[in-house]
Amino acid sequence: MKRIQKLAVILALTALAVATPGCGLVNSLRAKDSLNDGVRAFNQGKFDVAQKKFEFALELRPDNTNAQLFYARALSARFDQGQEENLGLKTIAAYDNIVKQNPNSPEAIDQALAFKAKVYEDLASLVPEKSAEYDQTRRETLLKRADLPSATAQTKADVHYTLGVEYWKKAYALDASWVTHNQSVPPEVAEKVKPLAQKAHEHLQQALAVKPDYANAYYYEKLSYLQDMYCDPNTAKKKEFLAKATQAQEKYGELQKQQQGAPHEEAPPPPVAK
């Protein structure tokens, strides 16, 4: 009789465990099914359906990193389609959650920061009145990625190269009408260009510090030195900047020969300095 009673207690406890919300085994299986359904919907381009499936998987298993990543990717895909600011901010929140929930997963954090930066880039274009704010936050996000203890030299170099090129482009946008005609930049314009060119140098040099064979970084270093040359009224300084630009160009050419066939980003051709 006691044996029967003991068996009944075990069965009752088992039933309670299955019925209890958050049950590990059952919820793991249900979360896995919902995750798989979501992946199928995502691959079919049904991003709203996929989002709901991933949301359900997260309700069952909030600690499931794959579900977190897929949920964020579904939101990101919907944002790409709809281009709504609120949806973009919701996507960013999903990536922030990944970073928060996975302190011991460098790969998940790296992916989350990379995608988050892309959303901020899109938001900067989507909401012109907040462009400066979103651009700045994007840069901060990229730098966080480069500063991760697990970040590779290539990742660090790519982040600083990207930021260096962006600052150069901002500078070039201000003085292109003078530079393309091989003319000195007016002082009032030069004062706006100089700090941007300096930031370009800082990031490009950081890229080269961790990856000395980064050919493209030398290419934009050359362009940044040409910015310095056209913005400085001092003849001696102009010659100094031109010499540095020439050295950077030579290094770029040398590395390109060593890396025959390696793709590189095209840049606006610099004017011929005289």
266, two tokens: 């095209």
Which pLDDT tens digit goes with each residue over 64-116? Answer: 898 999 999 999 999 998 889 999 999 999 999 999 999 999 999 999 999 99
User: What is the number of domains present in the chain?
Assistant: 2
Tell me whether residue 146 is in a domain. no
CA distances 143 to 19, 50, 172, 247, Å, are: 46, 31, 23, 28
pTM assigned to the model = 0.80
User: How high is the pLDDT of residue 31?
Assistant: 82
Tell me whether residue 264 is in a domain. no
Rg (C-alpha) for the chain, rounded Å, is: 27
Residue that is last in its domain, among 122, 137, 166: 122
7/118 same-domain check: yes
Mean pLDDT of the region 127-142: 96
Tell me whether residue 68 is in a domain. yes
Tell me whether residue 269 is in a domain. no
Q: Which helix (H) or strand (E) holds 182?
A: none
173/88 same-domain check: no
The one-character DSSP state at 148 is S
Q: Which of 30, 71, 32 is nearest to 49 (CA)?
A: 71
Three-state SS across 157-174? HHHHHHHHHHHHHHHHHH
Q: Which of the two residues, 89 and 262, has the higher pLDDT score?
A: 89
Q: Which of the two residues, 3 and 83, has the higher pLDDT score?
A: 83
Report the CATH number at residue 222: 1.25.40
59/159 same-domain check: no
Structural domain of 225: 153-258
Which pLDDT tens digit goes with each residue over 34-67? Answer: 889 999 999 999 999 999 999 999 998 888 898 9
pLDDT band at residue 2 under the 50/70/90 scheme: very low
Which pLDDT tens digit goes with each residue over 192-230? Answer: 999 999 999 999 999 999 999 999 999 999 999 999 999
Report the CATH number at residue 8: 1.25.40.10
Contact 222, 248 (CB under 8 A): yes
172/248 same-domain check: yes
Tell me whether residue 91 is in a domain. yes
Tell me whether residue 268 is in a domain. no
Query: Which stretch of 55-69, 88-102, 156-170, 250-264 has the lowest confidence by average pLDDT?
Result: 250-264
Which pLDDT tens digit goes with each residue over 8-39? Answer: 333 332 333 344 454 667 778 888 888 899 99
Contact 271, 226 (CB under 8 A): yes
113/163 same-domain check: no
